[in-house]
């Protein structure tokens, strides 16, 4: 998963926001329920305290203390209801104190006695080893008997069990809800961003040779649709610009071919004259050399313009690539011998491929010529042809000075030269490798380069043996 993708960041943001909201909601529910249960229990305890005061204590002068005690035990049943009830006189003596509940959860004798002055209110009674109690205290004035403090309490653990159950529910349900919500949100964002993935894939497949293609336009009516239409209009403008540049290059190259041909012919005729002074002959030979170099550059520009515009079509056919490699090496051997460079070819007896033989020959000539130019006298150039599965591999290795590491990524750029001075001397235009790469890609293949300074360079061409569909 790409942690820098919009989908991932939106999911993380959504998960964090959802988690924060659920935590706030759960905390609010927990605190609210705790207050509600405590208030509810306090109301019940206050109701029972008032019931004792108004129903039995107020008539104690008539009924007697024993009657009050009996009525409390009979009607409120502290042992069965797990209540704590205590009636304390103004002098601190106890009129009534409930017995321990049947489950023995707490001992009323452990509840500290109340101290005058008596005040009405709710309190929590804590002590180690026993159950905490919530106690409501109510002072009551009894005619003829003085003031009494009525204390009614209930175990607080009932509220705690309810809150613990709620906390457990939150601990189980909320993570599940978060997982479900995050998963649903991720899938929803994935579906919403799928058009962008389609646009990205389509945009990556568009090059200078297929600018007529357009990005898919989702009919969603949102920002993605507007983005697609905007990008398509931009690609359309780029296509027009590329066509104009390609047309200009083709026209300029075509217009330059005729005067260059005439100039070359006139220079050759002039050089045939015997009466030329040595200095004049040297100048004319230099002009002829520059004319040949310019003619070669024009021819390469015409090829590039045809490649850019898609006008260059391959002539697909089955042929023996091994024989083509051997023939091309023999064709280039004289050039290698002039520089005292050893040129060898290693190829199987036969290797049938479906491709354009003239264009593969052009690839080989470009690579071998480049290797010879970059290799000093006494070096060697090796051409090796191999096969692996449905791929054919052509390797051209030299023992030249190599290519600097920072120049390797740019070696296939147009007009790029590793060494400007050497390239000028050797006649390089900086277009041969660019053409070679485009021809490889036109065959459905690729070209890679490995080089070390002082050790040499290896170019590796990979092409499918059975050709590609676009060639028929």
Domains and CATH numbers, the chain: 6-161 (3.30.450.20), 223-309 (1.10.287.130), 317-471 (3.30.565.10)
3-state secondary structure of 468: coil
Q: Which two tokens stand for residue 42?
A: 């306090």
Distance of alpha carbon 337 from alpha carbon 341, whole angstroms: 6
pLDDT band at residue 129 under the 50/70/90 scheme: low
pLDDT band at residue 399 under the 50/70/90 scheme: very high
Where are the extended beta strands (E) located within 408-452? 446-452
Distance of alpha carbon 451 from alpha carbon 374, whole angstroms: 12
The predicted pLDDT at position 421 comes to 47
Q: Is the peptide bond before 117 cis (omega within 30 degrees of 0)?
A: yes
Answer whether residue 276 shows pLDDT above 50. yes
Least confident of 50-64, 109-123, 201-215, 368-382: 201-215
The DSSP 8-state label assigned to residue 410 in this structure reads: G
Strand pairing report for 84-89 and 94-97? antiparallel
Q: Taking the CB of residue 239, how many other CB atoms lie within 10 A of it?
A: 17
Answer whether residue 1 shows pLDDT above 70. no
The predicted pLDDT at position 229 comes to 87
The predicted pLDDT at position 471 comes to 37
Distance of alpha carbon 307 from alpha carbon 304, whole angstroms: 5
Answer whether residue 463 shows pLDDT above 80. yes
Convert the pLDDT of each residue in 27-57 to its tens digit: 888 889 888 888 888 999 999 999 998 888 8
Distance of alpha carbon 398 from alpha carbon 455, whole angstroms: 8
3-state secondary structure of 400: coil
Distance of alpha carbon 435 from alpha carbon 413, whole angstroms: 10
3-state secondary structure of 417: coil
pTM: 0.52
Strand pairing report for 84-89 and 121-125? unpaired
Q: What percent of the chain has pLDDT over 70?
A: 91
């Amino acid at each position: 998963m790409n942690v820098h993708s919009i989908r991932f960041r939106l999911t993380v943001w959504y998960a964090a926001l959802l988690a924060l909201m659920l935590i706030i909601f759960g905390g609010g529910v927990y605190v609210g329920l705790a207050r509600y249960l405590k208030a509810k229990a306090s109301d019940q305890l206050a109701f029972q305290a008032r019931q004792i005061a108004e129903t039995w204590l107020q008539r104690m002068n008539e009924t007697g203390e024993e009657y009050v005690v009996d009525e409390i035990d009979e009607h409120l049943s502290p042992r069965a209801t797990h209540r704590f009830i205590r009636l304390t006189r103004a002098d601190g003596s106890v009129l009534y104190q409930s017995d321990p509940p049947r489950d023995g959860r707490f001992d009323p004798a452990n509840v500290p006695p109340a101290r005058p002055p008596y005040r009405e209110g709710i309190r929590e009674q804590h002590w180690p080893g026993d159950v905490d109690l919530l106690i409501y205290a109510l002072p009551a004035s009894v005619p003829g008997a003085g003031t009494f403090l009525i204390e009614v309490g209930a175990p607080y653990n009932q509220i705690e069990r309810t809150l613990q159950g709620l906390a457990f529910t939150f601990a189980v349900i909320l993570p599940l809800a978060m997982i479900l919500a995050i998963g649903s949100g991720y899938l929803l964002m994935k579906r919403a961003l799928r058009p962008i993935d389609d646009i990205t894939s389509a945009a990556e497949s568009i090059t200078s040779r297929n600018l007529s293609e357009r990005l898919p336009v989702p009919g969603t009516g949102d920002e993605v649709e507007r983005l697609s239409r905007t990008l398509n209009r931009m690609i359309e403008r780029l296509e027009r610009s590329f066509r104009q540049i390609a047309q200009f290059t083709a026209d300029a190259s075509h217009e330059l071919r005729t005067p260059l041909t005439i100039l070359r012919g006139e220079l050759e005729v002039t050089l045939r004259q015997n009466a030329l002074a040595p200095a004049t002959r040297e100048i004319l030979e230099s002009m002829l050399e520059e004319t040949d170099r310019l003619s070669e550059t024009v021819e390469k520009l015409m090829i590039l313009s045809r490649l850019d515009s898609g006008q260059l079509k391959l002539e697909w056919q089955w042929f023996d690539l091994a024989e083509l490699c051997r023939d091309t090496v023999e064709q280039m051997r004289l050039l290698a011998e002039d520089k005292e460079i050893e040129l060898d070819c290693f190829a199987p007896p036969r290797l049938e491929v479906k491709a354009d033989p003239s264009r593969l020959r052009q690839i080989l000539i470009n690579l071998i010529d480049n290797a010879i130019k970059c290799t000093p006298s006494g070096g060697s150039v090796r051409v090796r042809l191999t096969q692996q599965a449905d791929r054919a591999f052509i390797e051209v290795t030299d023992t030249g000075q190599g290519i600097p590491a920072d120049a390797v990524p740019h070696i296939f750029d147009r007009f790029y030269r590793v060494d400007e001075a050497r390239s000028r001397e050797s006649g390089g235009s900086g277009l041969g490798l660019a053409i070679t790469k485009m021809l490889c890609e036109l065959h459905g293949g690729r070209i890679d380069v490995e080089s070390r300074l002082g050790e040499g360079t290896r170019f590796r061409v990979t092409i499918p043996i059975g050709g590609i569909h676009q060639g028929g």
